[in-house]
Amino acid sequence: MNVLSPRTLVMKFGGTSVGTPDAMAQTAEIIHRQRTLTPRLVVVTSALSGVTDILLSSATAAAHGDTTTYNQAVQTLRARHEAIIKSLIPDRSRQEEVKAEITLLILDFANLCQAISVLGEATPRALDAVASLGERMAVRLLAAVVDSAGTPAQYLEANRLIITDDHFQAAHPDFAATQIAARASLNPILDQGTVPIITGFIGATPQGVTTTLGRGGSDYTAAILGAVLPADEVWIWTDVDGVMTADPRIVPEARTIEELTYREVSELAYAGAKVLHPKTIRPVIEAGIGLRVLNTFNPEHPGTRLVAEKATPNGNVVKSVTAIRGLKLITVEGRGMLDVPGVAARTFSAIASTGTSVSLISQASSEQAICFAVPASSAEKVIAAIENEFYREIAGKDIDRVWATGEVVIVTVVGEGMRSTPGIAGKVFGALGERQINVIAIAQGSSEVSISFVLKAEDIRAAVQTLHERVISQ
Ligand code: ADP
Ligand code: ASP
Ligand code: MG
Q: How far is the CA of 241 from the centre of ligand 1 (A)?
A: 10
**Measured in whole angstroms, how far is the alpha carbon of residue 145 from the centre of its chain?**
26
Q: How far is the CA of 407 from the centre of ligand 3 (A)?
A: 24
Protein residue with its CA nearest to atom 10 in ligand 1: 275
Q: Ligand 1: which of 238, 266, 301, 468 to mutate, most ligand atoms within 8 Å of CB? A: 238
pLDDT, tens digit (0-9, with 9 covering 90-100), for 389-412: 999 999 999 999 999 999 999 999
Please state, as a whole number, how many other Cβ atoms lie within 10 Å of the Cβ of residue 91: 11
Entry field: residues in the chain: 474
Structural contact between residues 399 and 334, judged by C-beta atoms closer than 8 angstroms = yes
Confidence label for 4 from pLDDT (cuts 50, 70 and 90): low
Residue 18 Cβ < 6 Å to ligand 2: no
Instruction: Return the axis-axis angle of helices 379-389 and 343-353, rounded to nearest 10°.
Output: 130
Lowest mean pLDDT of 282-296, 347-361, 455-469, name the range. 347-361
pLDDT at position 407? 96
pLDDT surpassing 70 at residue 422: yes
Which ligand neighbours the alpha carbon of 13 most closely?
Answer: 1
Q: How far is the CA of 14 from the centre of ligand 3 (A)?
A: 6
Which ligand neighbours the alpha carbon of 277 most closely?
Answer: 3
The closest-lying atom of ligand 2 relative to the alpha carbon of residue 220 is 8
Protein residue with its CA nearest to atom 11 in ligand 1: 275
pLDDT, tens digit (0-9, with 9 covering 90-100), for 24-34: 999 999 999 99
pLDDT, tens digit (0-9, with 9 covering 90-100), for 75-129: 999 999 999 999 999 999 999 999 999 999 999 999 999 999 999 999 999 999 9
Residue 116 Cβ < 6 Å to ligand 1: no
Residue 242's φ and ψ, nearest 5 degrees, are 100, -165
Confidence label for 445 from pLDDT (cuts 50, 70 and 90): low
Closest CA to 170 of 197, 198, 131, 208: 131
Q: How far is the CA of 46 from the centre of ligand 2 (A)?
A: 6
Structural contact between residues 199 and 185, judged by C-beta atoms closer than 8 angstroms = no
Residue 280 Cβ < 6 Å to ligand 1: no
Q: What is the pTM of this model?
A: 0.94
pLDDT at position 473? 64
**Measured in whole angstroms, how far is the alpha carbon of residue 295 from the centre of its chain?**
17
Confidence label for 364 from pLDDT (cuts 50, 70 and 90): low
Residue 400 Cβ < 6 Å to ligand 1: no
Q: Ligand 2: which of 11, 44, 52, 135 to mutate, most ligand atoms within 8 Å of CB? A: 52
pLDDT surpassing 70 at residue 2: no
Per-residue burial over 339-369, b if 16 or more Cβ lie within 10 Å, else e, is ebeebeebbbebbeeeebebbbebbeeeebb
Structural contact between residues 319 and 356, judged by C-beta atoms closer than 8 angstroms = no
Residue 221 Cβ < 6 Å to ligand 2: no
What Cα–Cα distance (Å) separates residue 173 from each residue in 217, 242, 336? 12, 27, 43
Protein residue with its CA nearest to atom 5 in ligand 1: 275
Protein residue with its CA nearest to atom 6 in ligand 2: 216
pLDDT, tens digit (0-9, with 9 covering 90-100), for 155-196: 999 999 999 999 999 999 999 999 999 999 999 999 999 999
Q: How far is the CA of 50 from the centre of ligand 1 (A)?
A: 14
Residue 264 Cβ < 6 Å to ligand 1: no
